[in-house]
Amino acid sequence: MKLLVGLGNPGNKYVGTRHNIGFMVAQRFAERHQISLKKKGYQGIYGVGCAAAEETTVLLPQTFMNLSGMSVNAAFQSLGVTPGDLIVVYDDLDLEFGWLRIRPEGGHGGHNGIKDICNVLGRKDFVRLRVGIGRPGHGNTTGHVLGRFAAEELKDLSKVVETAADAIDTILGDGVQPAMNRFNKNLLEA
């Protein structure tokens, strides 16, 4: 069993915000593999299906970003997933928009959702797919993270989300290292 978690905040207020790009990627991946995200459980919304010949659960925690650990841990424990079979997709301020970064483990890098997951699971050895949202030139990072994508970003957003879903397929089918080699880059460079 593989567990793919897209991080974001629940509710219409947050739909389409930078902080919810993890939700967007997980939803696109689920759609691609005809995994219906309609079940309620694990303090989230989830679905189960097959991707890259692997039984895969896709989970969107509904606990709000900073408390994502409760939802992830509930699914992690119930499904008997090993750390290497947990993939978490989330936004990253420290990567420019258009960049992806895959890692097999690591710290939280200041991301409160990842920090909570690490604290609740008591481990850091799970796969991460960071999707760049960039930092604002000046001002309030909270407003930037919880804000909607700029018009210039919107024209490339579907490419970023689609390519991030491709990266998940590669992680599942070929492994983390091949996915890192292929996708750890700026997707918008010619």
- In the prediction, which pLDDT does 190 show? 58
CA-based end-to-end distance of the chain? 37
**Residue 142 in domain:** yes
**Residue 154 in domain:** yes
**Residue 136 in domain:** yes
**Residue 156 in domain:** yes
Place of tokens 């119930």: 78
pLDDT tens digits, one per residue of 37-55? 999 999 999 999 999 899 9
Task: Tally the domains of the chain.
Answer: 1
Structural domain range at position 142: 2-183
Query: 84-88, 117-121, 136-140: which range is least confident on average?
Result: 136-140
Whether 144 is a known active-site residue: answer no
Nearest Cα to Cα of residue 1 among 96, 78, 114: 78
Q: What is the CATH number of the domain that holds 57?
A: 3.40.50.1470
pTM greater than the 0.85 cutoff: yes
- Active-site entry in 19, 33, 111, 144: 19
**Residue 189 in domain:** no
What is the maximum alpha-carbon separation in the chain?
A: 46
Q: Residues 6 or more apart from 150 whose CB is under 8 A from it?
A: none
pLDDT tens digits, one per residue of 47-78? 999 998 999 999 999 999 999 999 999 999 99
**Residue 188 in domain:** no
b/e map 133-150, b = 16+ CB within 10 Å: bbbeeeeeeeebbbeebe
**Residue 190 in domain:** no
